[in-house]
A = this chain, B = another copy of it.
Amino acid sequence: MRVAFIVEYDGTDYAGWQIQKNDVTVQQKIEEALLSLNKGHITVTGAGRTDSGVHAKGQCGHFDIDSDIPAEKFMFILNTRLPKDIRIRRTWQAENDFHSRFSAKGKRYIYRIFNAPYSSALMGRFTMHVPENLDIEKMQQAAEYIVGTHDFKAFCAQGSSVKTTVRTVNKVQVKKEDEIIEITVEGTGFLYNMVRIIAGTLIEVGKNKKTPLQVKEIIEGKTRKEAGMTADPQGLTMDEVFY
């Protein structure tokens, strides 16, 4: 049967989602946990790769297993075999044609900035520290230009090979509560580092180093170096995958 799952992880101590030769990854940890339940190796597929240090609250994945165990029970079984910074939130039996990556209709990411003269002792592992006071209204104005179907070449890590750099972003929302600024980005698909480059560009708008209108021009210009820096990995969380 095909078992689908939702997994939450603190990415601080992992070299991202995808299996690597010499580094510990989240996919590897889940495959290792499955090994004790099955004679052979089981490959786990995720909805999206997350980079080293990036977190997930609602990464989705699936695997195939021959088992009499009801699919719902795998949550408990896997959690007893996984480290505390990787937690399965739900498992269920999926249709055989369900695919965590190809069936996904969209994703929500949240990028968190700690905006104060001091960094955060409590939220440091989940936020990027920006000491300069950011202008939230300007960031929200700039965010509006990002919404829509555009060629996001300027917001794609250089050197990544994709057929097309056109993507659809449905929502970019900038919200501040106490010292934490949350940038929520929803879209049907994302380029490599796209959300972190969006965050880095909005931070420059917040610092008044770029105007909101310049963000529109950056999209049109399709040149990576015109956009902002790639914001720190620890600020990013894959919040939810939509099906």
Chain A residues in the interface with B (C-beta under 8 A)? 8-10, 55, 57, 75-76, 79, 84-89, 116-122, 124, 126, 237
Q: In the complex, A75→B87 CA distance in Å? A: 37
Q: Given A8-B118, A57-B122, A84-B124, list of 5 further CB < 8 A pairs? A: A8-B121, A9-B121, A84-B119, A87-B119, A87-B120
**When the two chains form their complex, are residues B55 and A88 in contact, meaning their CB atoms are under 8 A apart?**
no
How often does this chain occur in the complex, in copies? 2
From DSSP, what is the main secondary structure of chain A's interface residues? Answer: mixed
| Minimum CB–CB distance for A169 against chain B, Å | 24
**When the two chains form their complex, are residues A86 and B121 in contact, meaning their CB atoms are under 8 A apart?**
yes
In the complex, 9 of the A-B residue pairs with CB atoms within 8 angstroms, ordered by the A residue number, are A8-B120, A8-B121, A57-B122, A84-B119, A85-B121, A87-B118, A87-B124, A89-B116, A122-B237
Q: Which residues of B contact A75 (CB under 8 A)?
A: 117-118
Kindly list the 9 A-B residue pairs having the minimum CB-CB distance in the complex, ordered from nearest. A87-B121, A8-B121, A87-B118, A9-B121, A10-B121, A85-B121, A89-B118, A10-B122, A86-B121
Closest residue of chain B to A8, judged by CB?
B121
